[in-house]
Copies of this chain bind each other. A is one copy, B any other.
Amino acid sequence: MKDVAAAAGVGLKTVSRVVNKESGVSPAMAARVRAVIDELGFRRNDSARLLRTGSTASVGLVLEDIGDPFSSALSRGVEAVAREHGCLLLTGSSAEDADRERELALALCARRVDGLVVVPAGGDHEYLLPEAASGLAVVFLDRPGAGIEADAVLSDNAGGARAGTAHLIAHGHPRIGFIGDLPHIHTCAERLRGYREAMRAAGLPVDERWIATGPTDPATVGRAVRRLLTGGPDGNGGPDPTAAERAAEPVTALFTANNRVTLAALQALAGLPARPALVGFDDLELAALLSPGLTVVAQDPEALGRTAARLLFDRLGHDTSPPRRVELPTRLIVRGSGEVPPA
């Protein structure tokens, strides 16, 4: 900028005024300065600007896995709103690792983002307290945060799971398997709660061996699918080996608690002559094209992202009302998988 001023033969502040479109510069002068800027290829250094002004016009987004279509849709929603506000979005992914989440969030804070949208991977967010105290706005997305008072935008996980499970029950399935993510993940726990509630509401017993939670890689999920459908031992090596060894009654339907699990389960079931009844949480792009079509409990991830971002910008606009928890409804999309008669 100094060079530009020298080349144009004007003062430093005049160039600054032109760059910032401030009033108080004659059009002729402004044009001359702009010409020099283009000629020299000058670009304002936003870091220095931030240092001086204190505002960055950027917000951070910490995702769970940037490659997951669900996360992509979240980020699309967040980005759209950020863009409306003329804000740059900085995105990173935590790979479902608490340390990585922390590291990433703090790196974004060190860049002095104005606000942060976090899809929590870890169970503790106290590390954000000093940041929040010094003005950072935080909104949790998809799962609530812990250890800090902040807004959260969630889906109605329990309600959705209840509806999905009820759909299977209504189609005559008395024994329904639940396959979910790691049990400490909030969404999984809530969906499991919804499943239990639906079973209880229908007066159906739940055999704990019908519930499989753990990693969502295809191999693990495939094993869980086969075990639930054949009624084998639970393989968890629990404290009661005799119970673990005793075969459970095989289930006739499956509720898969997120898109990765659903996908892995479908792959595991691909070899079978007729697919058992299956309802999944999260819609899949091709769900309608499978035969039979796949019934799902659909979230609206883009709306989740948009809502979280709106909440964040409300906070940046000095909305100091107490933290809110927004819960977005889910939608049961019936595509006929429920109509498969029970075994």
* Residues of A near any B CB (own CB < 8 A): 40-48, 50-51, 56, 58, 65-69, 71-73, 75-76, 79, 88-93, 104, 106-112, 129-131, 133-134, 263, 266-267, 270, 284-291, 302
- In Å, the complex CA distance between A44 and B108 comes to 11
Chain B residues near A287 (CB-CB < 8 A): 286
Nearest chain B CB to A267 CB, angstrom units:
7
Task: Please state the number of chain copies in the assembly.
Answer: 2
Residue of A48, A110, A112, A286 with most chain B CB atoms under a 10 A cut-off: A286
The one of B41, B45, B284, B285 in contact with A112, judged by C-beta atoms closer than 8 angstroms, is: B45
- In Å, the complex CA distance between A332 and B65 comes to 27
Chain B residues near A51 (CB-CB < 8 A): 45, 47-48, 51
The one of B75, B93, B110 in contact with A43, judged by C-beta atoms closer than 8 angstroms, is: B110
Nearest chain B CB to A128 CB, angstrom units:
10
Chain B residues near A93 (CB-CB < 8 A): 76, 79
- In Å, the complex CA distance between A79 and B71 comes to 15
Chain B residues near A130 (CB-CB < 8 A): 40-43
In the complex, which residue of chain B has the Cβ closest to the Cβ of A287?
B286
Asked if B72 contacts A76 (CB within 8 A), the reply is: no
- In Å, the complex CA distance between A137 and B89 comes to 21
Chain B residues near A270 (CB-CB < 8 A): 288-289
In the complex, which residue of chain B has the Cβ closest to the Cβ of A76?
B67
The one of B50, B66, B89, B288 in contact with A79, judged by C-beta atoms closer than 8 angstroms, is: B66
